[in-house]
Amino acid sequence: MGDGNFDTNSHLRENNLRCQKNHFYLSYANRTPDPSPSRPLAMLANKLLTRIARTQITHLHQLIRSRTMATTRIGTEDPRMSKIVIHNGIVYISGQTDGTTTDIKNQTANVLKKVDDLLAQANTDKSKLLTSSIWLKDISRDFKDMNDVWNGWVDPNNKPVRATVEANMAREQLLIEVQVTAATE
């Protein structure tokens, strides 16, 4: 275009800020220089818009990260552990035991009641369970009776993945320990 004429549509600078499902994109395309007299003003406006868009994107990323990366600890009186930790929308509870009775059915029922109470403190419930780990002192003797109580307790439409193993317990009277994770939403 040596005659001094130019096509303004082919010399546009574009700044586009789009948001799609929490993915933020800033596209900046600089095409052939625009020889128009308003070029310095357009360049300044373009730089300013680009800087504002980048600042907004950075702020949004920080806001999202701060909300999803927050960690909350509940029940920290015990010097060894928290009873509940909530991180990234997942609730983790400490292993729950009960030494007040001597049979597996009552211990299991009491432990699952403690699990319900801890989940309620974290504003969730057993319908949002993701995982469950169960330790039994004597798996060959207690597995069936523990399962009877578990099956009556677990939400049949929202069962977690589960592992059950035999393990030595910290105290002689303990027959079962249960630990779960659950979603908050």
pLDDT digits (tens, 9 = 90+) for 23-69: 333 334 444 555 555 667 667 677 777 777 777 777 666 666 655 56
Q: What is the C-alpha separation between 119 and 116, in angstroms, rounded?
A: 5
pLDDT score of 185? 83
Contact assessment for residue 122 and residue 184, using Cβ atoms and an 8 Å cutoff: yes
Q: Are strands 129-136 and 161-166 parallel, antiparallel or unpaired?
A: parallel
> Taking the model in full, what pTM does it have?
0.65
What is residue 25's three-state secondary structure?
Answer: strand
Write down the residue that tokens 């993701």 correspond to. Answer: 130
Q: Are strands 176-183 and 129-136 parallel, antiparallel or unpaired?
A: antiparallel
Q: What is the C-alpha separation between 22 and 92, in angstroms, rounded?
A: 26
Max Cα distance, the chain (Å)? 99
Q: List, for residues 95-148, the tens digit of each pLDDT value.
A: 999 999 999 999 999 999 999 999 999 999 999 999 999 999 999 999 999 999
Q: List, for residues 59-103, the tens digit of each pLDDT value.
A: 666 666 655 568 999 999 999 999 999 998 999 999 999 999 999
What percentage of the chain carries pLDDT values higher than 90?
61
Contact assessment for residue 101 and residue 82, using Cβ atoms and an 8 Å cutoff: no
* pLDDT higher than threshold 50 for residue 14: no
